[in-house]
Structure 1
Amino acid sequence: MKNFKQQALNVIQIEQEAINELTKFIDDSFTKACQLMFDCTGRVIVIGMGKSGHVGGKIAATLASTGTPAFFVHPGEASHGDLGMITKDDVVMTISNSGETGEVLAIIPVLKRIGAKLIAMTGNSDSTLAKLSDTHVCIKVSREACPLGLAPTSSTTAALVMGDAIAVSLLHARGFTADDFALSHPGGSLGKRLLLRLSDIMHTGDRLPVVHQDAKITDALMEMSLKGLGMTAVVNDKNELIGLFTDGDLRRILDEKVDIHHDQIHSVMTKKPKVASEEMLAAQALKIMEDKKINGLIIVNASNQPIGAMNMHDLLKSGVL
């Protein structure tokens, strides 16, 4: 029987070693490459052939989504018209483990004539591609994970990791924020986590559970039942939030000598509850609720007056949770 597990463990170990070796290549050349991209007034163009091309596509996508405008160009297509996408204001990063890939080398003279800055990412500092570029980022690995030493494995992993190192270094340098990230990721669950605000999902108006501080506990229970959020805000004469009563509070007072028909809600409410603003991201609200181990939040305005309410079920329906 084939020992698939052992082979898999061998591959992971070899590729881990390749990643660890990259630390010695975070040097002045790496810094220069990052600076060229940081100062670029055009776009970062990533070029690679074969497996390096697949890696290049991912690196370009990561750069673009983290604040560095970038796109991938296939070197074969570049020779047949796509070089027209590249201008003197651009920075071109070429990826080739050997540094001798013919399709990439063939377009270097044209890129130089255009005036674009060149960054080479190769496993050979003495390669033609490395020597023709403005700076060279080394991704040399001791061995491929492929036992034949032929299939790009460790080398492509090293290129991916180095690409991530460049992208994240630039992200920090640009002061790229979660809001910036959201602008390029509006779709799917990620977009919802980054863009959705409490104002988009909170219950307002007649759907907002709220009672006066002098209301009887039974009145609060009726309000909670009617609005179906498992809680109600408690306000004073100025409609300011002074407390919150939840299903959890109800379970607590059942063990106490409380007359729900005559006692007022302010005597059993939770004072100074955690609140939120309507501009808060739904993902932030989720973090608060998880940390505080609560199931809902009251949303207040600048005057501490309740304007909305939401619970975990609302986050679930919105796709944030």
Structure 2
Amino acid sequence: MNSEVNAPAPSPSGVRILGTAAAGGWPADGCRCASCTRLRAAGIRHAPFDALVGGTPWAECDRTDVPGGHDVRGPSGERVLVAAGPGSRPEPAEGVRYAAALLDLAGAPDHLGRLRAGRAVTAETHVAAVHVDHRVPSPAELERRLGFWLRPHAGPWRTLLLGGSRSGKSAEAEMRLAAHPDVTYVATGGARDGDPEWAARVAAHRRRRPARWRTAETTDVAGVLAAADGAVLVDGIGTWLAAAMDETGAWEDPATAVTRVLPRLDALVAAWRGTAAHVVAVTDEVGLSLVPTTPAGRAFRDALGLLNQRLAAESEDAALVVAGRVRDLA
């Protein structure tokens, strides 16, 4: 079985990673999950985490235990922050800018965002995923996620994520921005008094996203995009459109609904085109479902389909999420 014998050369930080997996390796012995089975069938095995710092095994370097891990000092004085294991979130020493950070990105990518926000990790820090295991479906999926976490886009950069109900599009959007240091979450649905099922959905979203993210419950998405210069997650375009149709009386006259709401669409597209932020927006793909049975429903579908096309045309990235699987759209 292949292993990580061809480990990468040392990084400019002086760190050479010899193995990336959790203590039991990946695939884990005896595990029948899809992740481990895929690797086993391909004859691939990732060795448990180990690394050299300046040519010295990391565990033999001078180090200080910190909550969640270790502050390691290499032979040339390089400082490396090392996660203790899966699920660990190592706390940085006060005032230290680390040459390298070896983190459990598979389980806690948002911790990288917090380290960036606190300047313990900078653009010069070598960041690597360690303690990797079957919490990630495959090495290819890990590489896809690392592309978002290790090399976050500076704005302007726009991504439109389309999908049906419960497709996983919101989770995909949150994953893409998890390691960003500065995120504003725009919730366009707002509160719905007397609707416990909706309240439960909102609560689940809040639990899933990092607590340090700012939340703006507003339908003024254009205003947020005009003012933001960090990252913005908009969830979602469909509920924004429903509110815009409420505000313009479009539901009451389906025959003129698209015409009534068109100025709102124009303003949103203009703000999307002109933003300086890194934006990820979630929207509903309504064209694959049954034709709505009411004129108002068909008017909503037509307006949202038009808006999705216009936003996608102004986006650097667009993707379709189906059953939690993501397909990029050229």
**TM-score normalised by L of structure 2:** 0.24
Specify which structure has the higher proportion of strand: 2
Specify which structure has the higher proportion of helix: 1
| Larger Rg belongs to | 1
**TM-score normalised by L of structure 1:** 0.24
